[in-house]
Amino acid sequence: IWSREESSQELLEKWTTGSAKTFAAFSINEQFYEDLEQGMQQQGEESFDWVRRISIGAYPRVACGSAHGSIYVADVESRQLLGVARGVHYSSNSNNAESGADAMYEQLRQYLYGDYDGGGVLAVAMSGNNNIVASSGREGGVKLFQFTAGDSELKFVGDVPSLDRPLPGVRPVLVTCLKFDSLGRLFFGGQDGLLRMVTFAHDFAASNDGNGKEMMQVTVISSRQQLQQQPPSPILSLDISEELDMVATAHANGNVCVYSTNPDGTSSSEADNTGDSLLLGVWNPFADTNNACHARSVAFISGGGKDDGDQKCDNDNNDLSWSIVAGGGNGMLWMQEIHPSYIPSSISSSDMMTNDEDKGDSNGMPTRATTMSPLFKENSMQQIKPSHQGPVLSLATRPGGILISAGHDGMLRVTQVWPNPKPLYGLGGYKVWMGNICIDSEGKRLLSDGRDDVVVVHDFSKSEEENEE
């Protein structure tokens, strides 16, 4: 019988060597294939759909957003579709005249997908707490659905308030990234460059009839300096570190912004629900004129210390280090280490000091962290090689310093970044339509799209001899 430390070390070794069971978990086109087998005539190309975005809820349940604007929930272990909301988002720019590709939207689409826009859902996230699925599309805004076991249709439970259509013919905010934390709070960002957080009433899902705006509170997590920007730079990606109480956002101007989600008791304004949360720091690894580009993806990563097999780590170990990784539109990856004073076990309340005098940089962003120590360790920035041959679309990490990056080149690269970046191996066979990758909360499985109508699972807790055709 393996001890916890031994089994977690064995699991980490499997990640470093690529020893995993790999399989296509399910297809979102079950009905298409059943009709094909029965000789039923298809109604053109619209009958076949493609997976464009994925998110893990409470494993083995996952949510998928499709090219035709549908949302699916499935079980990757039983390989069954469990629920669907069909055609709830626009599939492309041309679905509706009101979604016409204005200049700002076209630029945002180029930042996100370049020449390889597969259409459909922009972002999807699933909560492991209450089976709520959040999704965003090209019509703007965020829609919320609930999955209930035994019900093949996802129940629409409302739109996120403040993102509704402001005026007839005016599109709501386009949302590019969504993520739930373990408390069930929803964080998201998009075209207007503002990071928002949604908190839900305890009985939100149970008592909702599709119009539950009064059961949600939307808080803008931003500095007042950012709110004065006209306009702020669009957010393309975000990541949450619950261990550090931080959220990081990647912006179209190359900035990576890091916020505290628990700024020493600071509360939101009751008047406008605008939080005066601490903007801990801003980093632009792509500012060099020779490599200037947008920050396409971002992730927190931990290494050293007592990294166990779970995503949650023992922060009481002083050797544990945390870093932020940014993936660029030019395929480059950069990492910078967070100062130890920001790791919870090291933070002392006497170290905290509010700084209201920071006037910001030329982009209207604060240039100093609001503590005595800068957010990042001095001289800790380093490039992670090799670069991707195209934008870095998504990042996923697990304890032990394991980083997985997905690029438009159809390659997943696995790198061990602690104590020093070391490329391990690549996982090929993906297409340019890759949307995102994610790791389950146990740190055992890597899930990805980018394989047409299926979700691919790499299960490192099982032997590669168990692979199936």
pLDDT (0 to 100) of residue 42: 53
**Cα 146-461-437 angle, rounded to 5 deg:** 50
Q: Is 229 exposed, middle or buried (0-12, 13-18, 19+ CB in 10 A)?
A: middle
pLDDT of residue 433: 84
* Phi and psi at residue 35, to the nearest 5°: -65, -35
DSSP E strand boundaries for 33-169: 51-56, 61-66, 71-75, 80-85, 123-126, 132-136, 143-146, 155-159
Asked whether the whole model's pTM tops 0.85, one would answer: yes
Residue spans of alpha helices (H) in 188-257: 224-227
| Alpha-carbon gap, residue 161 to 183, rounded angstroms | 20
- Return the pLDDT at 334: 97
- How much is the CA Rg of the chain, to the nearest whole Å? 21
pLDDT of residue 84: 96
Q: Residue 454 corresponds to which amino acid?
A: V
Q: How many Cβ atoms are within 10 Å of 31's Cβ, its own excluded?
A: 14
- Take residue 33 and report the two structure tokens written for it: 């294939």
The reported pLDDT for the residue numbered 349 is 35
How far apart CA 41 and CA 35 sit, in angstroms, is: 8
Q: How far apart are CA 134 and CA 126, in angstroms?
A: 6
Nearest to 168 by CA among 69, 107, 232, 97: 97
- Kindly list the distances between the CA atom of residue 188 and the CA atoms of 117, 171, 195, 351, in Å, as whole numbers in the listed order: 21, 17, 6, 30
Amino acid at 335: M
Q: How far apart are CA 392 and CA 284, in angstroms?
A: 16
Low-confidence ranges of the chain (pLDDT < 50): 1-6, 41, 94-101, 265-276, 307-317, 347-372, 469
Angle CA(235)–CA(240)–CA(244) in degrees, nearest 5?
130
pLDDT for the residue numbered 414 = 98
